[in-house]
Structure 1
Amino acid sequence: MPDRPFDGRAFRARRRAADLTQRQIAEAVGVQEAAVARWESETTKPLPETLPILARLLGMSLDTLFPREGKPDLADLRADAGYSQKDTIAITKASTTSSVRKAESGVRRLSDELVALLAAAYGVSERALRAAQERSFGNAAPDEAEGTAMPSSLAEKIRFALDSTYSVGSAPSDAQIAAAVNDYAGAAVVSQADIRDLRTGVVTEAVPIVLEGMADMLGFKPAYFQSEDAVTRQVVEGLTLLASKRRGDVGQIAARGMGAEGLPADLLAIVNEVVAEYARRPGPGTSNPQR
């Protein structure tokens, strides 16, 4: 974690130039006046999440007043946004800071949902937040790695998901994964041996409910485990049905008669919404009675 350097004497000079007292700084930050005095005498340093407030008080940018060398990790992004770990409870709507704390400590990665929530709160893109997360785990971020091959087969995706979600030695066993998937499905749909075969590449395909259960356990979106062909096929199915409706071949579209993956609910909703819009439009040479 590349800390932003705090020079107490330089800060004192800038505070005085801004005609601010130690008491005014203390009241704005929410600390005792003595704490500001200790910062300026370099006895102690302010918390990282306090630096953005100090920069605003002095009318300077954070990077100008407290320039950081190196790229930020997760804790840095949080601090730069002015949040403490405790503050993230309100952002994530969780009961504890466990998920954020574990991600910042390089123990367990954030779920897709938490990535989206924190990125919005921190004012960065989800890609930037994921890159910072990789630095928290001591890894080169995706935009910093050279020649990194993305997993393609189902076995590679499972192993990558486990390696990137859990620290060494803490990943769930095949039996634990199977139990979680069966709990998600509400029935015994997979065994320990089945998970082992999928993880090692002995078996290369799995039914959707198994993939959904694994995605739910690991905090990934289900589409992560699908092949590119499957995702492409879903989009093509949706567009084909939309074209059929435009020709008047079909009515309201239902998710049936498709491939094993089926049309995703969100894509289906979008297609039906557009279908409904076409149905409301007048045909060639007719007037719109609603106007």
Structure 2
Amino acid sequence: MTPRQFDRKFARQTRRAKDLTLADVAKRLGHSGNWQVSAWEQGKKPVPSEKLAAYANALGVPLDRLAPRQGEPDLRDLRHDRGISLKEIPAIIQAKSDGPVKNAERGVRPLADEYAARLAEKYEVSLEQLRAAEVRSSRGHVAPVDTPTPAVESPRTLAEKIAHLIRCKFPDAPPTDHALAQAINAKAGLDVITTEQMQALRTGDQPPAAILGAVPEGTLYDALGSYFGCSPLYFRGKEEQVLQTMEGLRLLANLDDLSPEDVVLQARGGEGGFSRPLLAALNAALEKLKGEGRGSQGR
């Protein structure tokens, strides 16, 4: 996918030049409030790519000027350029679900000829252009219909983990490196990373330590975890995760006034949360560590 790069400065200048308020643009986009448009203009949130066409219409400017794109579009890009959601797809292709298009956009299997013809007409492109975009969606190869989808390996490197979270959290509108850097710096409360460093970190061109210099990895991981809504431990290697978790358990084990039940209550947040087997394992580990701690004190 080749995401468009939203030009927020151009958007603001155009809106003001046309004497439009944030509320005016929000109303044209069908929003009840203007906070989203304001966040987009300030670069605090990425504009969903399926909203860009409507945004350009609201400002009365070409889409390619508001959000230029480098390279050729894939299948999802063509849909977003027309401002069409997946919910509208069944009626367009005259099918029971959006599955055929969703699978083609993911490179799982090609579109049937009748679906491709209807989409090309709706997207206002030739059938050849649509098929070319379909190939780009599959990164150069569309899997045959009978070929099962290959299993996806778990992300291992920091770059792979960041890319995985971007795909999961922002499937339709991946944030730019600039937006990511701004968001991470805001979460950290200081300038942790630049746009160029974020790009290098995301692509894995260099090790994190070489990219960030003197910035502690812990500070970056805390900010990344806060932004993506996951534990900072996720960004560390498996060995680091185990060691840090064990250190936490050892610390708990040394708190004589803290019972296993207290730890369980904290982990569960009062109610719900971890499964019974996991809680039992945590209790056993804590009891064992407490025993080890007391045994070493008695020697």
Larger relative contact order, structure 1 or 2 (CA cutoff 8 Å, min sep 6): 2
Q: Which is richer in helix?
A: 2
What TM-score comes out, normalization by structure 1 length?
Answer: 0.48
